[in-house]
Amino acid sequence: MIHRTAKEPRTARAVKAQIIFVLVLLLGAWVIPVRAGSMPHVERIVLPNNLVLLVSEEHSLPFVVFQMLVDAGSRLDPAGKEGLANLTAKGLLLGTARQNANAMNEALDFMGASLNSSAGQDYAAIELQVLKKDLEKGFGFFIDALMSPIFPEQEIQKEVIKILGAIQSADEQPMGLAEKTFRKTLFPQSPYGHPIEGTRESVSKLTRERDVLQFYRAFYRPNKAILAIVGDITVEEVKAS
């Protein structure tokens, strides 16, 4: 995963909150009435490939945040392959047809940008935060990771080892074991019953060719995704890009 470890500035937290607002607004999940005057304007655009764009301008900030949600969460893990959605999401940032992960990392660090990917139960997400002056270059990394990942075999195996280590660490913690037991009890026959990371047995069996590539090709499609864009950018700029 490519990320920056510095403390997140207040303005970045505000933009993330606005992204959450944008996505919740689209999903129609409001349960508490909100005054219209307090709601940021959101422009909704549907591209010819059925990708949904949500754009909210915030010109008081010098950067732009892109967050793509893809219908590729852990609930879609095949039986016996729990953890596949998580491994696939992490694999997006392990190298592309244009450059390896180290080159991407160095370029993003030089720009002061961040690029992260993760999987939840319902969605996989990839997020870019980049200064407006580096928008074109940063967005190029974002699109490259989404459209041209190569999931290098050696890097995938390293990621599997990391995940197995994290699973073992969680299993040694009472809270981790309690959460897994609770989820399995609450959802005994449901795809929501297994941990997002999978299990030691399932993750150790995952392969690049048979599993990761097939999952990526099946679910990482424009018609299964929503792209929220918030920050110093106009709707006209988005339409022209």
Of 76-90, 174-188, 195-209, 211-225, least confident by mean pLDDT is 174-188
Check residue 26 and give its pLDDT: 45
Per-residue pLDDT, averaged over 75-89, amounts to 97
Q: What angle do CA 7, 1, 75 make, to 5 degrees?
A: 110
List the chain domain ranges: 10-29+38-240
Q: In angstroms, rounded to a whole number, what is the distance separating the alpha carbons of residues 6 and 134? A: 19
- In terms of DSSP bridges, do strands 114-119 and 43-46 run parallel, antiparallel, or are they unpaired? unpaired
Q: Which residues contact 224 (CB under 8 A, 6 or more apart)?
A: 70, 71, 72
**185 has pLDDT over 90:** no
**5 has pLDDT over 50:** no
Check residue 13 and give its pLDDT: 55
SS3 content of the chain, % helix, strand, coil (to 5): 50, 20, 35
- In 10 A of CB 44, how many CB atoms? 12
- The CATH code for residues 10-29+38-240 is 3.30.830.10
Distance from chain centroid for Cα 163: 17
Q: In angstroms, rounded to a whole number, what is the distance separating the alpha carbons of residues 15 and 65? A: 8
Angle between helix 84-91 and helix 153-171 axes, rounded to 10 deg: 130
Q: Which is more confidently placed, 46 or 181? A: 46
Q: Which residue matches tokens 């609450």?
A: 186
Residues present in the chain in total: 241
